[in-house]
Amino acid sequence: MVNPKKTIAGAEPATSGSASPDGVAALDRAFAILFAFQPDDKGLSLAELANRTGLYKSTILRLMASLIHHGMMLRSDDGRYYIGPATLRLSALYQRSMQLADIVLPLMRTLRDESGESVSFYVRQKNVRVCLHRVDSTHAVRDHVREGDVLPMDKGSGGRVLNAFGGGRGELFERIRRAGYYMSIGERDAETAGISAPVFSAAQPVAGAFTLAGPRSRVDEMLMMRMRRPLLEAAITASEMLGGDASPLSAALAMLKSEQRGRKGA
C-alpha cells in the first residue's frame, strides 16, 4: 500500500492506479478513487480510500464532492462511500454500444495472424458448446468448424475450459484454472489439436472461450506453447472490455511469464 505522506517539495504521492501521461491530474485522481473499489467491498471509509489510493484525505474529500454531485459516488450516514447509480447508466450505455463481436473478433484476427491458424469463440449452452464467432485460417487444410456448430463439452480444449471455469470439479479442472488455459491434442478429433482460454464478463461469470485450433501437423505442442501468452493476453483484454474480472487470467499470465524467465535464465 502507498503511504500517503509528503514527498519531494511537498508533492502528493502518486496514486496506486495508472496515470495518463497526457491527461489531467485531477481526473486521474478521481478515477483512482473509483477504481479503488473491489467487487466484495461493502463501502469504504475515507481512511481506506486514502490507504488504497495514496491520496491525501483532503484531496479525496474535494474530489468526492464532484463525484457525489454527478452521481458517481454515494455517502452514507455513517461516513462510508459507495459507487453511485450514475455508473449503472454508463454501464448500460457501454453494453448497448459495444457488441460482443466488436470486442472478440479483432482479437481473434490478431491471434489468427500471429499463429496462422483458425480461432473460434465458444459459448456454453446447457450441456454443449456453440461456435458463436469464427476466424478461419488461410490454409486450405484446417479444422472445419463453422459459426453455429454445436460441439461437446467433455472433449476438446474449448469444452474443458468452459467446464473448468464454470465450476467443474476435479484435479484436471483445478490445473486448468491455475494455468488459465488448456491444450488438447486429438481429444475431439484424432487429427486436430487446440488451445483455449476463458473470457469473463460483467453479465455472466464465463462469457465464452477463445480456441485456437487446427491440424496436428501444424498445431503441435511447440506452436501451442508459443501461443499461450498471446492467447492469455487476448482473453484478459476481452474480459476487461466486457467488464469481467480478469484477475485469474492476470495471475496465470504472471505465472507463465515467471516460468518463461526461469527457462531463459537456466
What ranges do the domains of the chain cover?
Answer: 8-86, 96-265
In this structure, CATH architecture of domain 8-86: Orthogonal Bundle (1.10)
Beta bridge partners of 141: none
Q: What is the DSSP letter of 10?
A: G
Alpha-carbon torsion (39, 44, 48, 53), positive or negative: positive
The residue among 147, 255, 150, 246 whose CA lies nearest residue 205 is: 246
Q: Say which residue, 257 or 190, is predicted with more confidence.
A: 257
Question: What pLDDT score does 114 carry?
Answer: 95
Question: What pLDDT score does 42 carry?
Answer: 84
Mean pLDDT (whole number) for 82-99? 77
The residue among 119, 148, 145 whose CA lies nearest residue 227 is: 119
Angle between helices 247-265 and 171-179 (to 10 degrees): 80
State the pLDDT confidence band at 264, using cuts at 50, 70 and 90: confident
Q: Is the pLDDT of residue 198 over 80?
A: yes
Q: Say which residue, 252 or 18, is predicted with more confidence.
A: 252
State the pLDDT confidence band at 257, using cuts at 50, 70 and 90: very high
Cell of 146: 463453422
Could you tell me which CATH class the domain 96-265 is placed in? alpha beta
